[in-house]
Structure 1
């Protein structure tokens, strides 16, 4: 037997547990459905589960080389959910890293999205800040701005912008980066944007400073966003028409640095969808 054959057989037929892990699995198996999602070689992963006498604990075992999809693609999680007969709101995914993910920041104009997204992205060893508005600016002729009572073409261009933003975020994430993307995404389109993003985990952060604070921030910045849009109307769309998903943060009394730190402390438990 060659050395590499020996190593491979040893790898496939051994299973070691962290302290308490085996007992925890038995306890969970008594009350919950369990599943495994693995990026790996199916024959090896299945043999290792068998070697640990835990194969039969799992009602779903999804391995990337069989599925043709790797984590963190959303589709591989959907396969496991289908096998378990559960929705994503009924499961808890346990991974080996709590800081990987795509972080979607939204809010009205002048709510601090861009500055906070930059600060948040800088907290990662490999972080990317995707500015959704850059895709709007790329249109040099024929651009339709999203105004009150926007027409069909303006909405078509807006959805194109969101698709490009999501695809860019996914591409960076699949290349090993943590991605913070930000744009004005209000109403039902926030749910649409979450569905456009293929990868998970996904964290949604909605910044909700009050109207007085928004007016102050708008007055102090060089670019102006309000005019045809009023602060009151955009704020109404945010609060009344946007689904209450993820983490909603009133940043009225917080500096950008304080807002980014507040997100960093709370996002892992409050913003994941």
Structure 2
């Protein structure tokens, strides 16, 4: 008797749901407006699409988009679209500030191998000037896993080591979602980062715990912030950069 009552209840529910569901046609789930915006892609994945901001290119004056860490003239060497760290001149940063974005960066460690571990081809890309994606020559060069190329420095090791040999140009394609903050200054949502290194996924939409710290715990130094610049690091090695473009999302 109990099974019969249960079966009757199920049939009753299914019948009621079927009566409430409208007779649907395909057009009822088609969304036409607003129309999706058109973006002309580059000829290759390395080329900037039509809605990108080119921050570093052969036909662009270096100091149009970049300053040194104090807002003055950048001290790095610049030749035919390639910016190379000049040791001791400090970081460079964009004049523009960004929030959520798609970023393309090409970088090259020196062909002549000098040093080992963190002392070899070291630089970094700081998203919003705060969260670092590590640049390092990790071709046959062992270091701590959460500090090698493609890492979110000291937070997330890359899924794999996709480094090319010293002196060969490499690519990072980075998708970044900026944090949002609560009224008390803590994260409402953390930053999130995806990194594709030389066409290989090495960070898969990871949650960044907090600002990059060489010593200490990221969560301890969280401060609410808005848009921020891209910063390229002077770590004492002559790392080169070219063809940097960004799409605001």
Same fold at TM > 0.5: no
Question: Would you tell me which structure has more strand in proportion to its own residues?
Answer: 2
**What's the TM-score, normalizing by structure 2?**
0.26
Ranked by relative contact order (alpha carbons within 8 Å, sequence separation 6 or more), the top structure is 2
- Rg larger for: 2
**What's the TM-score, normalizing by structure 1?**
0.25
